[in-house]
Amino acid sequence: MLNNFLNDTQIAALNNVSVPITVQAPISVAANVCGTTVNALAALRKTGDAACTAKSGSAALASVVDRQLLKQNKQ
């Protein structure tokens, strides 16, 4: 899903991460890759269940994954 947005080294690093992975993303990024709306996620957030499964990739999601997961693995 992120193959078009991450380089080979980053993809290899993700292959060493337990699946599924969890990242905190801005609500607009999450809504976009999860195929829902910001309003729908915001409503779920009020109940404490604002998680969603990414159904597509994006450069913004790849950036979040890179910052949160891949840099942790490099340390």
Quote the pTM value: 0.71
Average pLDDT over residues 50-70: 84
When divided into structural domains, the chain yields a total of 1
Q: 9-17 long-range CB contacts below 8 Å, 24 or more apart?
A: 10/62, 10/65, 10/66, 10/70, 13/69, 13/70, 13/73, 13/74, 14/65, 14/69, 14/70, 16/73, 17/69, 17/73
Average pLDDT over residues 54-67: 86
Rounded CA separation 56/53 (Å): 9
Cβ–Cβ under 8 Å, residues 35 and 56: yes
Whether residue 30 is contained in a domain is answered as yes
Share of residues in the chain with pLDDT > 90 (%)? 16
Domain that holds residue 38: 8-74
